[in-house]
Structure 1
């Protein structure tokens, strides 16, 4: 790959991303000319991508978004005149359907602003390359992270096909009945709620966690795919906005009713029961599973082993299939499984995999997930 970066000339050639499919149109927003050129070069090199415009601040981005109607907006956080947070807020007020991917520095300030942007409606984020070192290495790092983030919203191979139209039209959808046999047993009364989520997670978690009252009688454990620092900030945001106590997990932290525990970035989270019968957190940095650490599968397997199926497993929006094997184990022990539906998911990979495997007891819109949890707890 050449180190030479082209001038900022948006692509204009018609193209396809498969038979009869138009290219994914991208608007790049950043006050740094170096970053704009990096992104233009990286994205225009990708088959099926086309950078159709640039903006140097949020005010320009709003104008360009209305004019060009891009499919994707890569959005810097720190910009003059109008920063990325205000831009996200206004884009969503204007009902823009563009997928917004935040570009932030991997610092405490950058991570905090990124969490705010995700809660406001941004779809995903990438971290900017440092300006030190070879340009080619920085460009490759950015490309390797950004390209899959964009493709996840459009590539049918990264998500599971839609439910049949008849199922999708039902307000409360359920999976097809599971085949009778010894593999699946009736769900016992739940003693814990375990949640797995990835792309679109901060917004989804904020919406559902606000519905839980302080008197909720079960513990809640969560894996959200995020790096270190981000998970702590997400837990703090949720704790500020929710009635339940929300904490990033630490080794030995008790898991108890009314407490929400989020796995820390770069650590798998498991649960164990001590001789006093208290359940607490165990953390490790074992091998990644499904290219993830923390992994939903790791947590769900642990919940299945410890609670023997007396659990509610919830799979929310996210790319890939992390959580599928963990759900299989939970389901085999009699746990009740809820999957988010496609229409309310940012990416229907993780919940879609569970639905297609016939493991979901309920397939629900995001706003229906917590009422269903309450129904199962009240049994």
Structure 2
């Protein structure tokens, strides 16, 4: 059975709410998510279904902007329903909800390759969902921001080609984004600083929403230049997911990628992924540089977070630091980018048009400390050229 929820009245503050469909085989979960979403200004649950088949049959009639899609359901599961939903409504945002098992992590990453915009890890029990403030916060944040992105710009695959950022002298551009801010519109200009004259000795990357797809593209295009330096990266992901992500990156890069292990000496040509639930940093140990894992509190609501990694990298490598900030919500990484710029290192941020959400790269760009703001498909070639010693 499906249930249609009421939309906010015309007297409410939001006149054009983001329309949400909830698809889950648990009536308890459907009811809970429906209440959470309907309580948020600017969101309205327009349909609720117990399986994928009902959702596919109803998607044109209910016309949601965002679908929250469970993985394991009777009759038609989420992975089967996903491409059918997107085929019926081309600009639909699908957020996959799955529990933290290895199988579901693999399915969630598969869903991203099939067109899902993002995933949200779901506590394993109904009681866990009910009491998890973090799950509620993350769900609402993703629905809101991905829905806004789809409404205002269209999905990346359907967006018009981006125009390059204007290059202005340092100090002449727009002010930095406020901490945690999301940029909804394209800025008229950026402050672009020169690339470092030092050849990079490390590549460090930060990403979040849309990151797994972006990372596969980036590593596929960097090519053999990855062998020149160690690569360290933080992708906002929970435990289990990061191990699967590393396996996917290994295939895309043709180089070994794995979760970083505490005390591990980093080596050129290897890719170290921050494990879910831990911050990953670098530290000196004699003449070696080693991985350090930290159980410190979340930074920017994230664990792992990008800022601790970036700051630890630049403290060791200074002007020989090359950083990349890819698609993601929030502003994690911006303070690290500021530090990299202050010591003379280089950062490339992904542009708005090619980002699923232009939060993290937008915040990085607005520090005035980036050396380029580029479309995703240009970043890999640029990084490769720089690592091989070419002029940026």
TM over 0.5: yes
1:177 counterpart (163, 169, 177):
169
For 2:134 and 2:171, the matched residues in 1 are separated by: 46
1:301 counterpart (311, 317, 328):
311
**Residue equivalent to 1:164:** none
**Residue equivalent to 1:248:** 259
**Residue equivalent to 1:235:** 246
**Residue equivalent to 1:145:** 138
1:340 counterpart (350, 368, 378):
350
How many residue pairs get matched? 357
Which ranges in structure 1 are unaligned for 5 or more consecutive residues?
1-6, 162-167
Contact 2:120–2:138 (8 Å) recurs in 1? yes
Deviations 1:69-114 (A, max 9, x none): 3111000111233322233334445562222111112222222222
2:54 counterpart (60, 72, 90):
60
For 2:244 and 2:129, the matched residues in 1 are separated by: 31
SS of alignment partner, residue 265 of structure 2: coil
The 5 A counterparts of 1:1-379 are 8-15=3-10, 21-92=15-86, 96-131=90-125, 133=127, 137=131, 142-154=135-147, 172-173=164-165, 175-179=167-171, 187=196, 188-214=198-224, 216=226, 217-275=228-286, 277-377=287-387, 378-379=389-390
Structure 1's 255 and 25: CA in aligned 2 closer, same or farther, altered over 3 A? same
Between 118-127 and 366-375, report the one with greater CA deviation: 118-127
**Residue equivalent to 2:186:** none
For 1:31 and 1:129, the matched residues in 2 are separated by: 15
Contact 1:231–1:262 (8 Å) recurs in 2? yes
TM-score by length of 1: 0.85
SS of alignment partner, residue 178 of structure 1: coil
Contact 1:16–1:22 (8 Å) recurs in 2? no
Displacement after TM superposition at 1:207 (Å): 1.5
Contact 2:129–2:135 (8 Å) recurs in 1? no
Displacement after TM superposition at 1:212 (Å): 3.0
For 1:136 and 1:297, the matched residues in 2 are separated by: 31
Contact 1:321–1:350 (8 Å) recurs in 2? yes
**Residue equivalent to 2:178:** none
Contact 1:11–1:50 (8 Å) recurs in 2? yes
For 2:13 and 2:322, the matched residues in 1 are separated by: 40
SS of alignment partner, residue 153 of structure 1: helix
Displacement after TM superposition at 1:154 (Å): 4.8
TM-score by length of 2: 0.82
SS of alignment partner, residue 79 of structure 2: helix
Which ranges in structure 2 are unaligned for 5 or more consecutive residues?
154-159, 173-192
Displacement after TM superposition at 1:257 (Å): 1.7
Displacement after TM superposition at 1:289 (Å): 1.7
